[in-house]
């Protein structure tokens, strides 16, 4: 089994499960991830996903034996059916150990990143005579170009503390506790109105790089869609009545 999945209330857990290969992505992993992520997006009861790795490693990237063997480690949604996937729900990466190459790209494609203090990150493709995919253009969007160039062109790893300082990691955790911290964040997000989370996350993604006028247009469109939902009325009503809201996701 190349991945493990578990549902805990509204939180969907996905664990890369090839510890003997440092959770490198092969064809079977990509196929299994596609099924799991489709399930996550389609199931209205699931609101947040937590993605992690087993065996003390997040992901070491693509399995270099998979390509020559004819395995499909990328589909139309990118590496592991994830790095280019359009998503409406948030995904939290819980990183222990290494997130290298494609593993770092999976981290960069996630919405929130919790990393153990002894985790490390790298895009080392230049050391192997190959080239990274989404990491090359996504990293300079997240941190200053000169810093991204240093990371990508040397291929040298950075530690979790440095990644946190650069804003690549949302929150640090004690070694071995990344999953627990990520899960607590997921639970907090899942307690909020699903439509509000969905529209807020979508607006954050879509407005990146836009001018104020275009971003405001997207915001008005998102608010218009949200105002038509039952939860839009339930939230203020519950607040006035001093009770917890009962979200329906409708």
HEC-encoded secondary structure of 65-85? CCCCCCCCCEECCEECCCCCC
Distance CA 147, CA 63 (A): 27
**Domain 3-190: assigned CATH number:** 3.90.226.10
Q: Which of 96, 117, 125, 241 is catalytic?
A: 125
Active site residue 241: no
CA neighbor of 52 nearest in space, from 8, 6, 95: 95
Active site residue 41: no
Upper half-sphere CA count for residue 209 (Cβ side, 13 Å): 6
**pTM for the predicted model, two decimal places:** 0.95
Residue pLDDT, tens place only, 192-217: 999 999 999 999 999 988 999 999 99
Q: Which of 42, 96, 105, 241 is catalytic?
A: 105
Chain mean pLDDT for the chain? 95
CA neighbor of 30 nearest in space, from 69, 63, 65: 63
Residue pLDDT, tens place only, 139-183: 999 999 999 999 999 999 999 999 999 999 999 999 999 999 999
Residue pLDDT, tens place only, 46-88: 999 999 999 999 999 999 888 777 889 999 999 999 999 999 9
> Beta-carbon neighbour count of residue 176 at 10 Å?
12
Residue pLDDT, tens place only, 86-133: 999 999 999 999 999 999 999 999 999 999 999 999 999 999 998 988
Q: In the chain, which ranges are E strands?
A: 3-8, 11-16, 48-53, 74-75, 78-79, 91-95, 98-100, 112-116, 120-122, 158-159, 171-173
Identify the pLDDT of residue 68.
Answer: 79
Identify the pLDDT of residue 69.
Answer: 76
Domain range annotation of the chain: 3-190, 194-240
Q: H/E element holding 28?
A: helix 27-42
């Amino acid at each position: 089994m190349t991945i493990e999945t578990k549902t805990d209330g509204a939180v969907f857990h996905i664990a890369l499960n090839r510890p003997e290969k440092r959770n490198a992505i092969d064809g079977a992993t990509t196929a299994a991830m596609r099924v799991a992520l489709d399930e996550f997006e389609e199931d209205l009861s699931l609101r947040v996903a937590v993605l992690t790795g087993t065996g003390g490693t997040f992901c070491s990237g693509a399995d270099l034996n998979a390509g020559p063997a004819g395995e499909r480690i990328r589909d139309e949604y990118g590496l592991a059916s994830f790095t280019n996937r359009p998503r409406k729900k948030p995904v939290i990466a819980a990183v222990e150990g290494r997130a290298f190459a494609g593993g770092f790209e999976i981290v960069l494609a996630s919405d929130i990143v919790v990393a153990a203090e002894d985790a490390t990150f790298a895009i080392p493709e230049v050391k192997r005579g190959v080239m990274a995919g989404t990491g090359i253009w996504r990293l300079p969007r997240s941190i200053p170009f000169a810093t991204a160039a240093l990371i990508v062109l040397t291929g040298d790893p950075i530690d979790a503390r440095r990644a946190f300082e650069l804003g690549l990691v949302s929150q640090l955790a004690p070694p071995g506790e990344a999953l627990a911290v990520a899960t607590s964040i997921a639970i907090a997000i899942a307690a909020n109105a699903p439509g509000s989370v969905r529209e807020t996350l979508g607006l954050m993604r879509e407005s990146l790089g836009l001018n104020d006028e275009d971003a405001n247009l997207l915001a008005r469109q998102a608010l218009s869609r949200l105002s038509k939902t039952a939860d839009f009325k339930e939230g203020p009503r519950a607040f006035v009545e001093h009770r917890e809201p009962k979200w329906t996701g409708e």
